[in-house]
Amino acid sequence: MRINGTTVSATDFVKLFTEKTFLEEEEYTGFLHPIDGVVAKYGLTKPLGYVMWFFGTTPSWMIMIGISFISRQIMSNRINRRMPQRAPVQAPKSD
């Protein structure tokens, strides 16, 4: 029995545990498993939680502005490195 987080009720939980349908499901053994997963083995659950919290609470427009500033900075650094520095052009002397 799958549980939908938006429409679950107390009777669904009672039905789940009285019929023991959770025993028929395969155990989750993925990357984010809270005990045996790679994230838990390396102690990254708390930092990953903070990253997920940050992206969940930050408005998308703010993230896009940050990406825009960072990419413009990177591109301007690449262009300045590629172009050699030249002396400023002198105006011709008029006598």
Integer CA distances (angstroms), 33 to 11, 40, 42, 68, in order: 27, 7, 12, 34
Distance CA 12, CA 2 (A): 10
Please name the residues in contact with 36: beta carbons below 8 A apart, sequence gap of 6 or more. Answer: 29
- What's the pTM value of the predicted model, to 2 decimals? 0.51
pLDDT tens per residue, range 28-58: 888 888 888 999 999 999 999 999 999 999 9
Q: How many residues does the chain have?
A: 95
pLDDT given for residue 28 in this prediction: 83
pLDDT given for residue 22 in this prediction: 80
Q: Per-residue pLDDT for 75 more than 70? A: yes
Q: Percent of the chain beyond pLDDT 70?
A: 92
